[in-house]
Amino acid sequence: MIALVRAEWTKLFTTRVWIGLLLGACALVSGFVVLFTSFAGSTPGGGQGGPPGGLPAVGTEQFEQLVLAVGANVTVLFLILGIIGMTQEYRHRTATPTFLTTPRRGRVVIAKLAAYALVAVPFALVVLAVNYGVAAVAAGARGAVPALSGENLQVLASSGLALVIYTVIGVGLGALVRNQVGAIVGGLVYLFVVEAIVRQISAIADAYKWLPGGALEALTATLQGPDLLERWQGALLLLGYGLVAALLGTLLAVRRDVV
């Protein structure tokens, strides 16, 4: 199994997809932090003093948690990392040599899940380091470097955990859908259209907290939102979604013909 995990890492690091996704995640995180810091403390009316309706001011607890949680907004790129990791085998038809080398196909999917979960940890740490670094510089320029302790640290850790779990969900989703474009488009449409609509309609909004997006929001949200689970419950639920996707993906990869 260790050999298979290492083979997956060789696959990942002998193409450049990971560089693009990691740089993209870092750039997005930096952009969000700069944006939030620039408009911190402003209200829609243009006055100072923070919410309601605007962003909290630099130096407040809410502001620090907000800028340190932006990592959760790039979970989608980690989802895509996982999807590509699995679906590239079908897209480039390397599934054939892969499953010839390891005819017990479940082992391939499990190795991929492990390899991508493990690789997502340093990737997430890089994103979090950039997140904190940019926040320290940007907020520092306005007089208040966020402390790396207590609630702030918990916010960062939650984002990191969400990034890792979304990578695993991506691998599972890729094994389910197999078509790379289909899996990515489907994943994006689900997260940004379907869940957004469910969240809006009050009659079914109760269901939202049980969905992956709701679980992610429970785990990482710092602003007031809809009715959500506790942070730890969100983490468990998200982990559950990751495991279900992985299990279904493994079962299907074992049963279906390799075409």
Partner 1 sequence: MGTSPGPREESPIDSGSSPHRHPVRVEVHGLSKSFGAVRAVDDLSFTVEPGSITGFLGPNGAGKTTTLRMALGLERPDAGTATFDGVTYPDLPAPVRTVGAVLETAFHPARSGRNHLRVYCRAAGLPVPRADEVLAQVGLADAGRRRAGGYSLGMRQRLALATALLGDPAVLVLDEPANGLDPEGIQWLRGFLRHLAHAEGRTVLVSSHLLAEMEQTADRVVIVGAGRLVREGSVAELRSGAQGSGAVVVRSPEAGRLAEVLGAAGFTVAPSEDGRVTVTGTTPDAVGAQAFRAGVELHELRAETSGLEELYFRLTAGQEQYAAPEGSRR
Give residues 103-142 in contact with partner 1 (rule: CB under 8 A). 103-104
Instruction: Judge contact between 139 and 146, C-beta under 8 A.
Output: yes
Instruction: Determine if 75 is a binding residue for partner 1 (CB under 8 A).
Output: no
Task: Please select the residue that binds partner 1; options are 94, 154, 179, 200, rule is CB under 8 A.
Answer: 94
Instruction: Judge contact between 8 and 108, C-beta under 8 A.
Output: no
Whether the bond into 146 is cis, omega within 30 of 0: no
Give residues 206-225 in contact with partner 1 (rule: CB under 8 A). none
Task: Please select the residue that binds partner 1; options are 23, 49, 96, 125, rule is CB under 8 A.
Answer: 96
In whole angstroms, the minimum distance from the beta carbon of 184 to partner 1 comes to 17
CB-based burial label for 63 (10 Å; 0-12, 13-18, 19+):
buried
Tell the residue number behind the tokens 């320290």, with chain if given: 136
242, containing H or E segment: helix 231-255
The C-alpha atoms of residue 117 and residue 90 are separated, in whole angstroms, by 20
User: 37 or 98, CB closer to partner 1?
Assistant: 98
The C-alpha atoms of residue 170 and residue 246 are separated, in whole angstroms, by 9
User: 128 or 183, CB closer to partner 1?
Assistant: 183
Task: Please select the residue that binds partner 1; options are 57, 228, 236, 258, rule is CB under 8 A.
Answer: 258
Instruction: Determine if 179 is a binding residue for partner 1 (CB under 8 A).
Output: no
Instruction: Determine if 15 is a binding residue for partner 1 (CB under 8 A).
Output: yes
* DSSP character string of 158-174: HHHHHHHHHHHHHHHHH
Tokens (6 digits) for 152:
């702030």
Q: For partner 1, which stretch binds (CB under 8 A), given 10-18, 41-49, 64-72, 194-202?
A: 10-18
The C-alpha atoms of residue 175 and residue 182 are separated, in whole angstroms, by 12
Q: For partner 1, which stretch binds (CB under 8 A), given 33-41, 99-107, 211-219, 224-232?
A: 99-107
Q: For partner 1, which stretch binds (CB under 8 A), given 24-32, 46-54, 100-108, 238-246?
A: 100-108
Which residues contact partner 1 (rule: CB under 8 A)? 3-4, 6-7, 10-11, 14-16, 88, 92-94, 96-104, 257-259
